Amino acid sequence: QLQLQESGPGLVKPSETLPLTCTVSGASISSGSYYWGWIRQPPGKGLEWLGSIYYSGITYYNPSLKSRVTISIDTSKNQFSLKLSSVTAADTAVYYCARHTCTNGLCSPGDHWGQGTLVTVSS
């Protein structure tokens, strides 16, 4: 059974970099049919797509984050990661990792999700 699990610090200081990792179990992250990505949800608010990555390293990012986002993948560990730089209080959110089923790079988002991890940006 496919499972995704986010890990990382629950508290990050303003201006620092937020690092999160998603560990995938029950399936290979190298499967050609899927992209893997990050979606966040500020407390009490809606969903925001941050970006997605293919096992080959192809990435797509949300331009609203103005190049602060980097997503990487480690197929040997069956993990992918998020780095969000120069964080502010506005980046406080539950961060979800998710799998997306895709054909030729076109996807239906979020067929499997992690439980999410709350990251608070505060000094």
- Which residues contact another protein (rule: CB under 8 A)? 46-49, 60-64, 96, 100-101, 104, 106-111, 113-116
Give the sheet arrangement for strand 18-25, strand by strand: 3-7, 18-25, 79-84, 69-74
CB of 89 to another protein, least distance (A): 21
Comparison of 33 and 115: residue with beta carbon closer to another protein: 115
| Residue whose structure tokens are 């937020």 | 18
Contact status, residue 36 vs residue 61, Cβ threshold 8 Å: no
Two tokens, residue 79: 């993990």
The nearer residue to another protein, 19 or 116, going by C-beta atoms, is 116
Cα 85 from Cα 91, distance rounded (Å): 10
Nearer to another protein, 85 or 101 (CB): 101
Query: Could you tell me the smallest distance in angstroms from the CB atom of residue 62 to another protein?
Result: 4
CB of 31 to another protein, least distance (A): 16
